[in-house]
A and B are shown apart, each in its own frame.
Chain A
Amino acid sequence: MTKTLASSLILLMLTGSAAIARPAAPIAIHGAWIREAPPGATALAAYLVIENRSSKDDRLLKASCDVAEKTSIHQTSMDGGMMRMREVTRLLIPAHGSVAFKPGGNHVMLENPKRPLRAGAKVPMTFTFQHAGTLRVVVPVEHRAE
């Protein structure tokens, strides 16, 4: 009986500590990639999906990347065949919702990379949210025709 109780306690402690070590992340980033830029291009785009698993709206305050001189978040819209691109601050990531950054749409723009970013390179990026804090992601550079 004592033995069973002791092992139960140990089990409880173990699972408890695991829960503390890995709390359910309120924000998750999926499928991130950076489009390989053609030679001479000075601006690259990163694409990803930001998922808000919490029941509270959050906002993306900042994206940063040490490899680029400047990193900014852009929203695009189509207006009669014309693509408009605008920097956006405090992008809303709705509770239990997600925001996709995809080709021809929203993207994180990386300007004037300090070294050439060829397909296969891995680029560390940091995303800062109003509530969820900072999230670090390693993003691969890929050559895709999309």
Chain B
Amino acid sequence: MQAPGPDALPNSPTSRRLPNWLLLLLAFLMANVLALSVALFRSHQGPAPLADIPMRDHHGRTMTFRDFHGQWVIAYFGYTHCPDACPLGLGQLTGELQKLGKDAARVQVLFISVDPDRDSVQHLAEYLPYFDPNFLGIRIPEPQLAQVAKEFGVTYLRSGKGKDYTIDHTVNFYLIDPQGHLKTNFQLPLPDGTLKRYLAS
């Protein structure tokens, strides 16, 4: 077969070629439709671009959010040196999961440390099982942690100097559906039956 030479174009049926301005217009319209559909898809699905950020659980396993697809996830951002909000929140969450009965097995709780400097994997392994042996401590180093926090809308700020600093942080719980999309966020205590309804939706 003969390769099309430089004269291939003039030999094509020019009468059926669309004018350049129309091609441009079509391209412009298609780009708009594409952008719009992506926007609609995103707003419908909620953000799920967290999937590929590497992290380690308190057993030392390397994973990503993608590894939790197929189950519900409740994520909380805190730190083990927190005297009040974190032990309170995790204790309340334990009670909330007990109320779920056997549905609790469908939920994986992730405690994502906002203090990767002090919260080593070993430290998280000591801390989390106190609340529930199935809770997982997650360590994400910076700058990926900041990226994850931004995706969730979580803020965390160090306060104080030296090794005994504290961290102001968002105290919401984040519910991620089995497709990996952020479904909602909440604080505890919730009215009875709320979490069960979320999981049924």
Contacts and interface: CB of A to CB of B under 8 A. Distances in A.
Contacts of B172: 81
Contacts of A104: 84-85, 88
A82 B168 contact: yes
B87 to A, nearest CB: 6
A104 B85 CA distance: 6
Given A35-B87, A81-B187, A82-B170, A42 B81 contact: yes
Interface string A21-62: 000000000000001011111111100000000000000000
Contacts of B95: 145
B87 A83 contact: no
Contacts of A96: none
B130 interface: yes
Contacts of A43: 81-83, 166
Given A83-B85, A85-B159, A86-B159, A145 B169 contact: no
A109 B126 CA distance: 21
A104 B172 CA distance: 13
Interface in B8-47: none
Contacts of A42: 80-81
Interface string B58-84: 000000000000000000000011111
Contact of B83 (A39, A40, A44): A44
Given A70-B164, A82-B170, A40 B127 contact: yes
Given A82-B171, A111-B164, A39 B94 contact: no
Among A40, A70, A82, A112, chain B packs the most CB atoms within 10 A around the CB of A40
Interface residues of A, number: 31
B74 to A, nearest CB: 16
A84 B82 CA distance: 12
Given A81-B187, A86-B159, A145-B91, A39 B170 contact: no
B164 to A, nearest CB: 6
Contact of A145 (B80, B94, B127): B94
B139 to A, nearest CB: 13
Interface in B83-138: 83-85, 87-88, 91-92, 94-95, 123, 126-128, 130-131
A128 B187 CA distance: 35
A107 B168 contact: no
B21 to A, nearest CB: 50
B172 to A, nearest CB: 5
Contacts of B131: 38
A76 interface: yes
A39 B81 contact: no
A144 interface: yes
Nearest to A110: B83
3 A-B pairs with least C-beta separation: A38-B130, A40-B126, A43-B83
7 contacts: A35-B87, A37-B83, A38-B130, A41-B80, A41-B87, A83-B85, A109-B83
Given A39-B130, A145-B92, 8 more contacts: A35-B88, A38-B130, A41-B83, A81-B171, A82-B169, A82-B170, A82-B171, A83-B85
